Amino acid sequence: MMKSKQIKIALRNCGHIDPERIEDYISCDGYAALGKCIFGDSPASVIDKIKLSGLRGRGGGGFPTGKKWELCAASVSDKKYVICNADEGDPGAFMDRSVLEGDPHSVLEAMAICGYCIGADEGYIYIRAEYPLAIKRLKIAITQAEEAGLLGDRIMGSDLSFKIRLKYGAGAFVCGEETALIRSMEGNRGEPVMKPPYPAQKGYMGKPTNVNNVETFANVAAILNRGAEWFSSIGTEGSKGTKVFALAGKVKNVGLVEVPMGTTLRELIYDIGGGIKSGKQFKAVQSGGPSGGCLTVKHLDTPIDYESLKAAGSMMGSGGMIVMDEDDCMVAVAKFYLDFTVEESCGKCVPCREGNKVLYQILNKITHGNGEMSDLDKLKNFGNIIKSTSLCGLGQTAPNPVLSTLDNFYNEYYDHVVNKKCAAKQCRALIEYRIIEENCVGCGACKRVCPAEAISGELKQKHLIDQETCIKCGACIKKCRFNAIVAE
């Protein structure tokens, strides 16, 4: 069952407490870590604990969280900021939304702890305006925490003050990149800027700023309550703790799961996910969203951690995990993700703005049956140039879905280009609907349902599909009760 191989840390309270009642959170050790920090631990010692735990950024980058806090703490300034990045944008990913809807106080508490550590008295949550319920619950949580004296001025009567406000994102994917996020918060266009200077030196309003993802924050109080050693005993050598994944696609038990680092893809997909739907064959798993890659059967025993996934040609990403079966065309999948990044590119740098468009056009050409062998070399060549010359993470990773499918599913590209065939029968231009004469009884059902009037034939006579007129909608195949129509 779903529970067996999971360990819930970031999701420890999700589904167990009422997110709209601070009392529920406090009764689960809520705000205890914050109290312990303020009244018995120096900022440097708390940072050491986070470093010792081995917690790394859960938004995808994997930068050590303790190190990030330390850098920001070391910056000298009269004003500093803590930002929670809740601009979750990967298609099919909803880890952050679930945490914010199910346990908003865990994020607020961690932000206050971070403020204590780096010397900030103000925090912002940059959240997508498309998450109305999460916003509502965050607002309730902030109000309750302020009333209870656990946020705001003089927390628990101490000298520490920390206020949290919300900023709404308009749903631009690039704003998940920290420098673009900060620009957007300042009221400018959401465009990334060159690093360095890093936000830890010069961030929001030019002041030192620490940006962490929702899930990263959700781990903090648990680490401080249960100890860094406990946290670092979970996971692998380089990746400690757990990771939340939104398991989606052709898997039986779609859902939100949290597994220890080092769990294999096979365990995640088969033991927790229950395997592939309707007895089909597993083909690929896509992790890391539009920045990640597709892994195949030979990668199923890859342990899930930052380094192993990267070595296999994908990445951890923020936690999207889409499972595909034999009916998915990998060229079309690569095209889907590229379509997304082309749409979401901010347009500031040329490689990302123009390069990805060219990649998309080549993929489009291939899926329409006009591909040439030289196109495959171009994809690889251009893809690598875009990766090495783009300004921010969006461009630097956008070609990954193309490059990884080229590596792992070269035969499929070859089939599209040379044989003009799509084995998964997803690329319309490459398939042909044909009537098998032996099976056709001439009932005329297909003819009646065809919207293009492409099927001819008298009643009780063999029917025929005119390939010129056929729009390949597949309506006839669904209608035929005699298995007399095939797609090839």
- Residues near other proteins (CB under 8 A) are 1-3, 11, 13-24, 26-32, 35, 38-39, 94, 97-99, 101-103, 131, 133-134, 144, 147-150, 156-158, 252-258
Q: How far is the CB of 268 from other proteins (least distance, A)?
A: 13
**Comparison of 271 and 354: residue with beta carbon closer to other proteins:** 271
- Compare residues 131 and 282 and give the one whose CB is closer to other proteins: 131
Closest to other proteins by CB, 2 vs 452, is 2
Alpha-carbon distances of 224 from 5, 39, 249, 407, rounded to whole Å = 24, 14, 36, 42
Residue 467 Cβ, how far from other proteins at the closest point, in Å? 41
Whichever of 73 and 254 has its CB closer to other proteins, that residue is 254
Identify the burial level of 79 via C-beta atoms within 10 angstroms of its C-beta, where 0-12 means exposed, 13-18 middle and 19 or more buried. middle
Complex with other proteins: residue 18 or 377, whichever CB lies closer? 18
- Between 163 and 357, name the residue whose CB sits nearer to other proteins: 163
Nearest-approach distance from CB 114 to other proteins, in angstroms: 19
Q: Are 67 and 51 in contact (CB under 8 A)?
A: yes
Contact 278, 293 (CB under 8 A): no
Q: Could you tell me the smallest distance in angstroms from the CB atom of residue 245 to other proteins? A: 10
Q: Which 3-state string (H, E, C) describes 146-208?
A: HHCCCCECCHHHCCCCEEEEEEEECCCHHHHCHHHHHHHHCCCCCCCCCCCCCCCCCCHHHCC
Calpha distance 103→97 (Å, rounded): 10
Contacts of 336 (CB under 8 A, 6+ apart): none
Q: Is the peptide bond before 197 cis (omega within 30 degrees of 0)?
A: yes
* Least distance (Å) between residue 78 CB and other proteins: 27
Tokens of 456: 């001819």
- Is the distance from CB of 203 to CB of 209 less than 8 angstroms? yes
Beta bridge partners of 169: 128
Minimal distance in Å, beta carbon 35 to other proteins?
A: 5
